[in-house]
Structure 1
């Protein structure tokens, strides 16, 4: 007994946070940067935030980009689908890479490899090239899988829902923050002296640089597990190196993973769709200025500051009393309410009510995402990465289907008609209007 207590005291002293027998932290201290647990948390959400900013940097500037490149509603819809479709398989591959090589190396590699696509957006000169850069940039969204895998590897079951929810939620903030960041950067560059069609291109170097720096941060400062990196632990024999076939088999034969993929497809998948179209929707439907549309759209994504983390925290709270059944029932209730408000968002016709409904909808749909990954870590210990990848990939499949069916061609024709109507209305006016270049900001 004394030996056991001595061993426990030894490994407790090794870490700044209290840990369990697997050295996973039993506490989540948001304002700590202690290695390896909280340092990995901050590195992971910042990297995912950077990738989200890059992936959705184009939508806030679409009114300018579409005029420069001559994009039609079909082109915009195809590009939006491309931005989320590439991550479907990338997320599954990322899950496998995490299982085999560890989240640190997998995340840093993907973040760095997709950064060139962000820079290349600046030289897009046709609808096809614009679609391609959005497609390859969207691969970076697979860093979500490494984020959730990493948190599940470092935090115990008592707080894993909270860790996953906050890391994923703060990373998803990038989808809202970019709605503010890109118009502001565009404004600044234009005021310095660049033309509109040059300013939007230069603006893409900001998310590209941010993404590059975050990749180096993860590689040099992160650690896979409490006791070291995968490569070190494999060499020392402290961690068994599993085979791809076994990881794959135990994942695809687990029906719970497929259910979570479907569930995530219609919470996170819908969220991705809204990130893609919401700024243009408010700009065209309610005739607001581009900067105003960006602020409204940003409020949807910025709700991730508390909504997805709230879902993860709620999952842990109900689990302490009701176990896994509590996690599942809470997920079902919150996701159902998210669906109700999503329907209402499409029905209301005034600007103020639309914004209010959008904000309520954002809370429920994002909380459902956090609740989903309050369940995912318990589906398969051996294939944790692949299950996380399947679930995350389901989110992107849901986004592709939702955008293709609802916002691809027919629905986006509204924006072309609205743009034409703007032009007709402002032709007789001698003063600048929304149809003139300066009115975009």
Structure 2
């Protein structure tokens, strides 16, 4: 752990690691969201129907749910430096495939595979936690998350202009190609300039990669229950692509997919049993125990915060253009106010957590989240536009500060499993997005906002079960000695 001062304008030691981490995350989000701002151009160029475009949007987020879990495990095992560099390099390939695609199927496969780059976020959470002490961790993770997340807004602002500068029907291809090139180049820069831990520190790895470790029988059952929504969200995506909805997949393929998910869940239950069966015969020493309910609560909160952010960012331009009869360009600019809040809100949520405690911060922000979305549900065409924009920005503050506060807590649960825990919590954000966007396809905008407010109230209730991280985490070195890591003052 580096003891140097927290100075945002420094580019050495832990601050260099933080800056390179948020830049890597920023690039993954630019690549992941390089399609949304160019929808119209892609639609015209490839001759796609509105339904096919909607399918591409769904496919873009589909793979991120399992990807975040897998990437979290790989990060714990092989270290953030190698995994982030590899992800940036490998994911430039489907980006280039998308650039060269000339049919819906080619574009669909490329967008589906690009969902993997959305898992990059998880890697930096572990990396930043290795370099910063507990009293700076929330702020550092908030800066990493907030500034990196801004990549989606940066893509929305710059890529249409870039496409027009290249000009012609293929302008969008060049714009998307530039993002792939950025990813490839930065993978080399990242690998050459980052270390997994400060000099002299140990990088603790989990004993098992196949499944998450738990330390009590109750936690074993809770882990299996918390896995179900991730499979349900993937089943929901398959259902959206079935003949009765979008019609991209046949009934046979969809049913095969359902069976596959059930088999996969069964396999995962087996792996969890294999890794954790010893707890049924011999209790885990108290020093090495952790409470999985902490992870479960953070999963629910990230479902409501990041899940709603992903869903709202997707629908807000349309909401403003339909409610206030704005042009597409103006609606996009107005809606971007929501994403802009990321630059300060997420670091703010982490900083407040560092100063005033993790649980109390989450309680206040979750309550604000519920009120914010309830307020958004009241917005209609009789409101002045400026007031509606203010309501969206206030709501956005609580959403993103809440995300910052969630990931100020994640690294304080069990250090060697930070990647796995961040992967699961991050995946829950995507599960939330899938659920909310599915709800939106059935109800009006007002009801959609009320549903999110309702889940925030549910999140507030689950927070009652969370315990403020305190004391120290015990991790065992390879030679058998124990290192104690402080998680509170």
TM-score (norm 1): 0.77
> Residue in 1 aligned with 2:300?
262
Question: Does the alignment pair 1:55 with 2:32?
Answer: yes
> Residue in 2 aligned with 1:121?
98
Could you tell me how far apart the structure 1 residues matched to 2:50 and 2:116 are? 23
Please point out which of 288, 300, 307 is paired with 2:338.
300
Please point out which of 104, 113, 130 is paired with 2:107.
130
TM-score (norm 2): 0.70
> Residue in 2 aligned with 1:223?
195
The SS at the match of 1:227 is coil
1:359-388 deviation line (CA, Å, top 9, x unaligned): 222111111000101111111223111111
Question: Does the alignment pair 1:358 with 2:392?
Answer: yes
Q: Give runs of aligned pairs for residues 213-362 of structure 1, distance below 5 A.
A: 213-227=185-199, 242-245=206-209, 248-250=212-214, 253=220, 254-283=292-321, 286-319=324-357, 327-350=358-381, 351-362=385-396
1:387-421 deviation line (CA, Å, top 9, x unaligned): 111111111111111112214x7779xxxxxxxxx
Greater RCO, 1 or 2 (C-alpha within 8 Å, sep 6+): 1
8 Å Cα contact 1:60/1:280 also seen in 2 = no
> Residue in 2 aligned with 1:33?
11
RMSD: 2.5
Could you tell me how far apart the structure 2 residues matched to 1:355 and 1:124 are? 37
Question: Does the alignment pair 1:110 with 2:87?
Answer: yes
Please point out which of 27, 30, 42 is paired with 1:65.
42
The SS at the match of 1:248 is coil
Once the two structures are TM-superposed, the CA of residue 127 in structure 1 deviates from its matched residue by 3.8
Distance 1:209 1:276, change over 3 A: farther
8 Å Cα contact 2:204/2:416 also seen in 1 = no
Aligned length: 368
Distance 1:208 1:411, change over 3 A: farther
Could you tell me how far apart the structure 1 residues matched to 2:93 and 2:164 are? 24
Question: Does the alignment pair 1:199 with 2:153?
Answer: no
Once the two structures are TM-superposed, the CA of residue 240 in structure 1 deviates from its matched residue by 6.0
Could you tell me how far apart the structure 2 residues matched to 1:199 and 1:133 are? 18
The SS at the match of 2:135 is coil
Once the two structures are TM-superposed, the CA of residue 78 in structure 1 deviates from its matched residue by 2.9
> Residue in 2 aligned with 1:391?
425
The SS at the match of 1:258 is helix
> Unaligned stretches of 5+ in structure 2?
221-291, 446-489
Once the two structures are TM-superposed, the CA of residue 248 in structure 1 deviates from its matched residue by 2.0
Q: Give runs of aligned pairs for residues 375-414 of structure 1, distance below 5 A.
A: 375-407=409-441
Could you tell me how far apart the structure 1 residues matched to 2:46 and 2:324 are? 24
> Residue in 1 aligned with 2:140?
163
